[in-house]
């Protein structure tokens, strides 16, 4: 199990057409069945990851990647020429739902696409 000294880190990969948590279950977040992440602990979190666009994609959907909190956009990527870094540093609160969505799952190279989260600090707001 986890001890207090281990970082609280989670990683998601596209093993199927849905995000799956491929790291061990950490204490500060939960994985939801639909491939979303639920925050369990108020804190300052860093999100990281990369999205590799598929040049073989022939569909009509525009390329669009959105990192969201409670279905509101935190970050969006719209062009498709290279590998994208996603993420940033955000305050999240217990109950927030975080997800990373695409217009079409075939737009990305699954084995080169992932995202993760790490708890940087608990919030001690007076």
Interaction of residue 62 with a second copy, rule CB under 8 A: no
107 touches 53 (CB < 8 A): yes
What residues between 83 and 122 interact with a second copy by CB under 8 A?
Answer: 85, 87-91, 116, 118, 120-122
Q: Which is nearer to a second copy, 19 or 90 (CB)?
A: 90
The single residue among 30, 41, 75, 105 that binds a second copy, judged by CB under 8 A, is: 75
How far is it, in rounded angstroms, from Cα 95 to Cα 39?
5
Interaction of residue 15 with a second copy, rule CB under 8 A: no
Interaction of residue 78 with a second copy, rule CB under 8 A: no
Q: Residues near 40 by Cβ (< 8 Å), separated by ≥ 6?
A: 27, 28, 29, 30, 94
How far is it, in rounded angstroms, from Cα 17 to Cα 63?
16
Cα 67 versus chain centre, distance: 7
Interaction of residue 7 with a second copy, rule CB under 8 A: yes
The single residue among 40, 46, 64, 101 that binds a second copy, judged by CB under 8 A, is: 46
**72-77 and 65-69 beta bridge pairing:** antiparallel
- Kindly list the residues in this chain that would bind a second copy in the complex (CB under 8 A): 6-7, 9, 11, 22-24, 44, 46, 48, 73-75, 82, 85, 87-91, 116, 118, 120-126
């Amino acid at each position: 199990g986890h001890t207090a000294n281990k970082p609280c880190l989670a990683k998601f990969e596209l093993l199927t057409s849905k995000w799956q948590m491929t790291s061990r279950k950490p204490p500060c977040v939960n994985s939801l069945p639909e491939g979303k992440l639920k925050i369990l602990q108020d804190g300052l979190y860093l999100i990281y990851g990369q999205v590799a666009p598929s040049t073989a994609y022939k569909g009509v959907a525009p390329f669009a990647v959105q990192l969201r909190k409670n279905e509101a956009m935190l970050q969006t990527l719209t062009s498709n020429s290279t590998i994208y870094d996603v993420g940033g540093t955000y305050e999240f609160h217990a109950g927030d739902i975080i997800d990373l969505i695409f217009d079409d799952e075939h737009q990305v190279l699954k084995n080169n696409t992932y995202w993760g989260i790490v708890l940087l600090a608990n919030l001690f707001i007076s």
